[in-house]
């Protein structure tokens, strides 16, 4: 049985590149910033419609990391 967290990890945040929430979280945890994540995955380099959502997600991860 899959957990809720697994389901969120598989959520595609950037349909243009197929980048998932889990991909982004992994790269954030490796220390990459939004520009580096974009270069690595191709996210935010197509229509850029995902930029706000990915930026918000990275802010949330940064806040969680501080706790």
Question: Interface residues with ligand FES (CB under 6 A)?
Answer: 14-17, 43-50
Residue given tokens 């974009």 in the structure block: 38
CA distance 9 to 5: 6
| Least separation in angstroms between CB 49 and ligand FES | 4
| Least separation in angstroms between CB 42 and ligand FES | 7
Host H or E run for residue 36: helix 34-41
With beta carbons less than 8 A apart as the criterion, state whether 38 and 27 touch. Answer: no
If the CB atoms of residues 47 and 55 are measured against ligand FES, the closer one turns out to be 47
| Least separation in angstroms between CB 53 and ligand FES | 9
């Amino acid at each position: 049985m899959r957990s809720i967290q697994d389901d969120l990890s598989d959520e595609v945040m950037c349909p243009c590149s197929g980048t998932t929430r889990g991909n982004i979280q992994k790269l954030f945890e490796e220390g990459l910033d939004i520009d580096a994540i974009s270069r690595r995955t191709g996210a935010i380099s197509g229509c850029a419609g995902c930029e706000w959502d990915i930026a918000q997600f990275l802010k949330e991860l940064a806040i969680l990391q501080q706790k």
